[in-house]
Each structure stands twice: as structure tokens, then as C-alpha cells.
Amino acid sequence: MLASLLVRPGCLELREVETPRPGPGEVVVKIRAALTCGTDLKAFLRGHPKMSLPTLFGHEFSGEIARVGQGVTAFREGDEVMSVHSAPCGHCYFCARGQDNLCQMTMSAKVMGAYAEYIRVPAHIVEQNMFPKPAHLSFQEAALLEPLACVLHGCEQFTLRPDDAVLIIGAGAIGLLHLLVLRTLGVENIIVSGRRAYRLRMARELGATRVIDAASEDPVALVMEATRGRGADVVIECTGRPEVWESAIQMVRRGGQVVLFGGCPSGTKITVDTGRLHYDQITLTSPFHYTRAAVRRSYEVLADGLTTARRLITAEYPLERLPEVFSLLRQGECLKYAVIPFQSGE
């Protein structure tokens, strides 16, 4: 089969590799859509501490079952499916406490390689986090299962009132997924701060109350102006930059909540005003990955018709043009791209 490998930072190669075979409890999925994401872009630009290069690449996908391994009863060849790329062990210290996103197996046994014609999905993922794709969902929409699960898990970490003013920092796909989820929860006052014209325009079209161009405007001053000097009730940081983590704390009200969603480069540090943190009773939380429960909710939300989510997919490209896709991602005038290994009918 054909697969795109990340050989070194900044270098992708399309190679002919052995088509995977399923072991007991496993399935092989014929990829119908694989989506790009911010983590993939970061890994492409600078490598990733959890990826040994060269490596198969990509982790947001949907498709159809090509082969099933011994003992698989929930799926058959030809079934259209949607899945995430990890699952917990179910019995460790963290799993027993409802924190299965922190299970060591979640990261150590994750599956990569969605930028390919086929992908082998391990048994523990098939059993826990693979679902039949509803007929009304496109493969591209179904591939949003993983990023939406991350966002839903993050939203569980803070409390909301319908009259809260929520600030989302970062107008990429994850920031705008937060916007869509908050809109479904009935939050009306949502401010989005970002830097790219295309993304800011999409934020407006998807329902942001106010949009701040952080490249030319002062986000702190404008957030204070919009909240009568209090600051936002909830601030959700989606850029993964240490300096933005620090500024996020400046834009929350006394007694407010800051969600540090974006992951910063390993080893970086931030400086926090401890007086403000303590005397203003600021709550900081840093959600990571997703739980099984969040994946199930993500599936239900997509199956019920989060139709606006399809607008996060800017365009689609064939697998052989993946280097071009990452060049476009670096320019930033986009959100997500769908990578299509097979043409319709293949």
C-alpha cells in the first residue's frame, strides 16, 4: 500500500509499504478520509517527543473495514466506521478513578498512520472506541470524532452559565470546535481572538459575538472593554504558546476559570502572578486528550447532526499531495484539510 511517512522534521515521503494484516481482535480499515490537525503540523515542523522518526503519520480518520481479525464480532468487512487512535487499559490506577485519559496505555499503544491507504486498528481500540458510521455522515465529518472528543473532554473541566462571557484564544480548528460546542450549550457571549483573516472570518460566520485580530489589536484591552472591565468568565487557550498561556490569565475575571487547552513545547515554562492567582481566586485547568466517555459523547454529537462542523474542513486533497497540504497549513489561511487516499469507487 501507499503511505506517507514523516522522515524528519519538514520532510514527508510517500512510500510503498506492506499492507497491514489484522491480529486477533484487530481490524484493518481502508481509509476514506484522514484529517490534518495542529498536532500533526507541530510534529511536521519540529518532530514530536512521542514519535520516533521515520514514522507513519496522521491519526484522525474514518473508512471502511477491509479485513477483520480472529474474534472480531462487532464489525464485518465492508462496514463503514469511525474511530479514534487510542484507548485505555481499563483497569489501572487512573482508569479506576475515571481519568482514563491519563492511562499510560493511551499514549504507548496509540495507532498512527492515517495518511495511508490502510491502517491497522489494535484490539483495545476496536473494542472501546470504534463505532459504525451513520449513513448520513460523510467520511470527512466522521473523521472529526477524535478532535471533537478532545474538546468535549476539555469542556468538562469547567462550569458554565448561559450568561457567561467566554474568550477563546486561537481561531484554528480546535478553537472553532470549542465555539461550536459552546453554541450548542447555549452560551451566547463568545469572543474569539486570533491572527489569520480566513480563520477570523470563519469565527464570525460560526457565531462568535466578537472577533479580535490579535495581530493588529490589543486583546487584553478589548476583552476588558467587552466585559465592562471584569474580564471573561472563562478563557480557553488554544494556541499552545507559553506567552499566550500567561496573557490568558490576564484576561479572566476574579473568580474566573482559565482552560489551558493548547499544549506547549516540552520543557517550556510560564510565569504566573501568584497574588492574582490567589487573591482573585483564579482556577487553572489543563485538560489532556480524551476519556472513553468523551469519545462516546463525540460520537453521539456527530450522529445527532453537528452539521456546522463540516465547515471546519477547508478542502480535500489526494494522498500524494500531502506535502502541499502541509505547506498550506503553514500559511494558516485554512482550518483542516481532508486527505483522500482513494478516489470514489476504488
- Residue ranges of domains in the chain: 2-150+290-340, 157-285
Q: What distance in Å separates the CA atoms of residue 302 and residue 145, rounded to the nearest whole number? A: 8
Give the per-residue pLDDT at 344. 66
Q: In the 8-state DSSP scheme, what is residue 133? A: P
Q: What distance in Å separates the CA atoms of residue 126 and residue 114, rounded to the nearest whole number? A: 15
Q: What distance in Å separates the CA atoms of residue 251 and residue 254, rounded to the nearest whole number? A: 10
Q: Which residues contact 1 (CB under 8 A, 6 or more apart)?
A: 16, 17, 18, 19, 116, 117, 118
| 198-231 pLDDT per residue, tens | 999 999 999 999 999 999 999 999 999 999 999 9
Yes or no: say if 235 and 256 are a contact pair by the CB < 8 Å rule: yes
Name residue 211's beta-bridge partners: 192
Give the per-residue pLDDT at 162. 87
pTM of the predicted model, to two decimals? 0.95
Residue type, 168: I
- What DSSP assignment string belongs to 272-331? --HHHHHHTT-EEE---S--HHHHHHHHHHHHHT-GGGGGGEEEEEEGGGHHHHHHHHHH
| 269-297 pLDDT per residue, tens | 999 999 999 999 999 999 999 999 999 99
Topology (CATH level 3) of domain 157-285: Rossmann fold (3.40.50)
Topology (CATH level 3) of domain 2-150+290-340: Quinone Oxidoreductase; Chain A, domain 1 (3.90.180)
Give the per-residue pLDDT at 306. 73
- Find out whether the peptide bond into 162 is cis, omega within 30 degrees of 0: no
In this structure, the strands spanning 130-132 and 165-169 are: unpaired
Residue type, 326: F
Yes or no: say if 30 and 342 are a contact pair by the CB < 8 Å rule: yes
Give the per-residue pLDDT at 305. 80
Yes or no: say if 319 and 14 are a contact pair by the CB < 8 Å rule: yes
Residue in 251, 223, 234 with CA at minimum distance from that of residue 158: 234
Q: What distance in Å separates the CA atoms of residue 224 and residue 159, rounded to the nearest whole number? A: 21
CA atoms within 13 A on the CB side of 187: 24
**Which three cell numbers mark 8?**
524528519
Residue type, 138: S
Yes or no: say if 311 and 334 are a contact pair by the CB < 8 Å rule: no
4 φ, ψ (degrees, to nearest 5): -95, 125
Average pLDDT, consecutive stretches of 10 residues, N- to C-terminus, the chain (346 residues): 94 96 98 95 83 90 98 97 97 96 93 97 98 96 97 94 95 96 94 96 96 96 97 97 96 98 91 95 97 97 86 96 95 94 77
Helix (H) or strand (E) run with residue 165 in it: strand 165-169
337 φ, ψ (degrees, to nearest 5): -115, 145
Give the per-residue pLDDT at 202. 96
